[in-house]
Structure 1
Amino acid sequence: MYSDLCALLEMIIMSHVSEVAEFQSCSCDTFQAAIYPLNQPALLKGLDLGPALKLWRSPDYLASRVGPKPVKIHVSQSPKMDFVSKNFLYRTLPFDELVHRCSDPGQKKEYFDEVYYLRAVGDNPRKDIANFTTDYPSLVSDLILPQFFPEDKLFSSVLRVASPGLQLWTHYDVMDNLLVQIVGRKRVVLFPPSALEDLYLKGDKSTVVDIDTPDLEHFPRFSNAERFECEMSPGDVLFIPALWFHNVTSLGYSVAVNSFWRGLDDKFYDSKDTYGNKDPPQVQRALQMVDKAMGLLADLPDSFREFYCQRLITRAKDKMTNNVD
């Protein structure tokens, strides 16, 4: 009975799956003219990324090039890291030790039940934006990052190192993103911005932790969510447009670098955002106003409150289509 239910669930979810479009040896002009305007994820193959693809395959090489530089990491007992429930701890490790723990998780018994994730940050995470060039100068000459956007629009470049099997929570970013896979393979599942009502959001993150066998009793709409999937190999570059939800699983020991850039005018980005995931200031203020509006309705009887909540939703939709003055 249970296996039949799982098979039915998988069939329902898979019916909404599309493959991410692939492009071979894409040039900057092609990206700007034919890919970026579509606002769809794209898997770019055959790009020249430099010698990192060969050199970084050796954990000893990568560890020795950076050495014992202290890095702040996520550590969890569960391979499914969940930012909503915070099922992980923050810890500081020497970079070379992190690489060895991730690349050979069975080397010491005490590491068997831990998974590690480095999302590089600046020296002062509250103020400094990650910059691969300045944060990891000993690795810069190894890697050619694609320059498919104006240089002055670059926001950050982030080194990422992960244990085998690590799955990161589903979330969106407010900036466009090129994810460069260098070591290991990744499975990436993406959901379009239109799927937000099916993802049960808390802030910019989905509360559906298990996207393959979700609890549809608690998350019934999730089975309606359209999804795109791809598997990244070393040398692949994935374009993730702003506001596209993504869930990433490292299928083995993984090393990647990604670049965030601003596709909009600077006024639409929070000047205090060091991660590239804060909603625009205008949106933050609008959401605060919604919270205040809901507070004003709190004393109404349930039937009235539900009715006027729907009126607010209808009014917002009408405003978007210019049907209300």
Structure 2
Amino acid sequence: MATVENDPTSSEGGAAAFSVVHSPIWSEYQLRKYPFQTRPIPRLSHTDPRAEMLMNNEEPLVLTDTNLVYPALKWDVPYLQENIGSGDFSVYIAENHKFLYYDEKKMANFENFSPKSRRIDMKFSDFVEKMEKTHEEGGDERVYLQQTLNDTVGRKIVVDFLGFNWNWINKQQSKRNWGQLTSNLLLIGMEGNVTPAHYDEQQNFFAQIKGYKRCILFPPDQFECLYPFPVHHPCDRQSQVDFENPDYKRFPNFKNVMGYETVVGPGDVLYIPMYWWHHIESLLSGGVTITVNFWYKGAPTPKRIENPLRAHQKVAIMRNIEKMLGEALGDPHEVLELDRRVEYYDSIDGRSSRVSVCDA
């Protein structure tokens, strides 16, 4: 049973207002080792006033009792195989356990870009067969199903979906003036699969259904520590840093990164605020994991922007500037060259054109 205690250590934009003490049914040996420190993400009842405070402040937390996906807690691979329907599913096949997202439409901008995974469409039964075969062979290759739930699913899945706690989640959307629900993404992964650190431009309720996932989050003000790929790169919004083997010569500020983490299990719902970085891994030797994301567009931009700008607003502005430069120059590579020149002159002046807590 989780308990929440006061934590005297906190930081701007961080989720360190509370510490967490609980007895997990997973082991520390199932977690990968990384060279940075983390603080716990709070675990709270959805009725706890502190949960409301954190969400209003756009800080992450785990909600333990929303019953958001209660009808889906019976979902396992055999149940889904029997009931999910005969549609096609997007399956990623990676050469190792890391599934670095890439935008296929942006690959034309970078002729030498070679993705570390490939996406193929297959029937659910074929995916199950491929996953089982891959597991039995015991090599480095991994598979990961990532499919938006749509009208091709079977009747029982539809009934389960309609039984989700829409009353609760619709209230969260309304109270915070979020935009529409854009998608529900079904994720089915092998044990040990890793989705490297990235951020999304949408609000996310990350609902765990089967198995356990470790989630490491970083606030938007850690932007300069995590070295995102350029906006026009296929891996836009992804960190360039390999957490398991960081190159500190290329990415020196990564030494200063500070994360917040939790392990979510069946029934848990992790709120991932927009622009918060998140690094997700299915636990080692933990079996298959199943998750459903609820992605919402953020609240409309206020007509009057007040200073000082919040960290996520700075990220959004930097993204827009980079996009506009690419359109004006007509070549995304020209943006990269311009950025390198700015960094060069900043180094001569002994200052940085970008402000970050990582430089403190």
On the 8 A contact 2:218/2:276 being kept in 1, the answer is yes
Q: Which residue is equivalent to 2:288? A: 253
- Given that 2:179 and 2:298 are in contact with CA atoms closer than 8 Å, whether structure 1 keeps it comes out as no
Mapped partners of 1:140, 1:40: distance in 2: 32
Of 306, 316, 319, 2:345 maps to: 306
Give 1:66 deviation, angstroms.
1.5
| Alignment deviations for residues 142-193 of structure 1 (CA, whole Å, 9 cap, x no partner) | 2415513139621221111112211012110011100001011101111110
Distance 1:166 1:37, change over 3 A: same
- RMSD of the TM alignment (CA)? 3.8
**Displacement of 1:254:** 1.1
TM-score (ref. length: structure 1): 0.71
Q: What residue in structure 2 maps to residue 136 of structure 1?
A: 153
**Map of 1:233 onto structure 2:** 265
Query: Aligned match of 2:226 in 166, 179, 199?
Result: 199
Quick check: 1:80 aligned with 2:98?
yes
Deviation digits for residues 75-124 of structure 1 (CA, Å, limit 9, x no counterpart): 012001234652111112211232354467435x4x8443111221xxxx
Contact 1:102 1:253 in 2 (8 A): no
Aligned in 2, Cα 1:289/1:191: closer, same or farther, shift over 3 Å? same
- Distance, in Å, in 2 between the alignment partners of 1:117 and 1:104 is 13
- Pairwise mapping of residues 77-156 of structure 1 onto structure 2 (< 5 A)? 77-83=95-101, 86-102=115-131, 105-107=134-136, 109=137, 112-120=139-147, 130=148, 132=149, 134-136=151-153, 138=155, 139-143=157-161, 144-145=164-165, 147=169, 148-150=172-174, 153-156=180-183
SS in 2 for 1:134: coil
Listed as ranges, the gaps of 5+ residues in structure 2 are 1-32, 103-113, 230-235, 304-313, 356-360
- Please tell me whether the aligned partners of residues 200 and 276 of structure 2 are also in contact (alpha carbons under 8 angstroms): yes
Supply the distance in 2 between the matched residues of 1:303 and 1:161 (Cα, whole angstroms): 43
Distance across 2 between alignment mates of 1:248 and 1:304: 31
1:51 aligns with 2:71: yes
**2 CA distance for matches of 1:304 and 1:220?**
14
Return the letter of the residue paired with 1:246.
H
- Aligned partners of 2:194, 2:320: CA distance in 1, in Å? 32
Does structure 1 retain, via aligned residues, the 8 Å contact 2:87–2:153? no
Q: TM-score, normalised by structure 2?
A: 0.65
**Identity %, equivalent residues:** 24
Greater alpha carbon shift after TM alignment, 303-312 vs 67-76: 303-312
Letter in 1 for 2:183: S
Indicate yes or no: 2:103 matched with 1:71: no
Would you say how many aligned residue pairs link Structure 1 and Structure 2? Answer: 276
1:220 maps to a residue whose letter is P
2:299 paired with 1:264: yes
The superposition leaves residues 41-66 of structure 1 with CA deviations (integer Å, 9 ceiling, x where unpaired) of 1111122232321x213x21111102
**Residues 81 and 310 of structure 1: is their aligned pair in 2 closer, same or farther, counting only changes over 3 Å?**
farther
Q: 2:241 aligns with which of 192, 208, 214?
A: 208
- Counterpart contact for 1:162–1:255, Cα < 8 Å: yes
Q: Choose from 188, 191, 199 the match for 1:161.
A: 188
- Partner residue, 2:36: 13
